[in-house]
Amino acid sequence: MPEAVPFNKHFPVSWEELHRNAKALAWRLIDKGPWKGIVAVTRGGLVPAAIIARELELRLIDTVCVSSYDHQNQREAMVLKGVEASGAGDGEGWLIIDDLVDTGKTAVIVRKMLPKAHFATVYAKPAGRPLVDTFITEVSQDTWIHFPWDIELQFSQPIAKQHRGS
């Protein structure tokens, strides 16, 4: 595995921004369909998958449940649940939706389960980018993305102070 990159930068995402970017992803995906359904990668893929399901009028939704981070620390990936009764088969005509790809480890696992599915994320970092078929926004490898469900409003240090401290 490549050496872990420290997260020097922070990229907070608001609900509005996430909604807008997930809708932008739906616009990119509409012409690549038709789609039979969505497999959301829990938990991060659940909110983007809900927005995309609404926009593409898809009602058949399944989940794969993968966990590989304790906050910012990556550990061995655990598959808690695979694709079940949805009939996704080899993934032909299906979308896999996750919030982001970072190292690409989760993407490799999910792609093995559904090799013909179209893998789409809202955000991508360079190491994971080759594993995604469609994404919206790229951020650098040393950036940690903070999703709206993980954060709350609070005082923020000026960038100059954060930079001196890093």
Ligand X SMILES: O=P(O)(O)OC[C@H]1O[C@H](OP(=O)(O)OP(=O)(O)O)[C@H](O)[C@@H]1O
Ligand Y SMILES: Nc1nc2[nH]cnc2c(=O)[nH]1
Residue from 41, 52, 64, 97 touching ligand X (CB under 6 A): that is 41
The set of catalytic residues is 98-99, 102
128, interface contact from ligand Y, Mg ion, ligand X, none, CB < 5-8 Å by kind: ligand X
- How far is CA 69 from each of CA 47, 80, 103, 106, rounded to the nearest angstrom? 18, 14, 11, 10
Minimum CB–partner distance for residue 16 and ligand X (Å): 20
User: Binding residue per annotation — 99?
Assistant: yes
**Dihedral over alpha carbons 74, 115, 24, 60 (to 10 degrees):** -100
- Which residue from 86, 23, 33, 80 is spatially nearest to 55, judged by alpha carbons? 23
Residue from 15, 27, 69, 149 touching ligand X (CB under 6 A): that is 69
User: Binding residue per annotation — 102?
Assistant: yes
**Interface with ligand Y by CB under 6 A: which range of 84-92, 130-138, 140-148, 151-159?**
140-148
DSSP state of 14: -
Report phi then psi at 165, rounded to 5. -75, -15
Which residues are documented as binding site for guanine? 102, 145
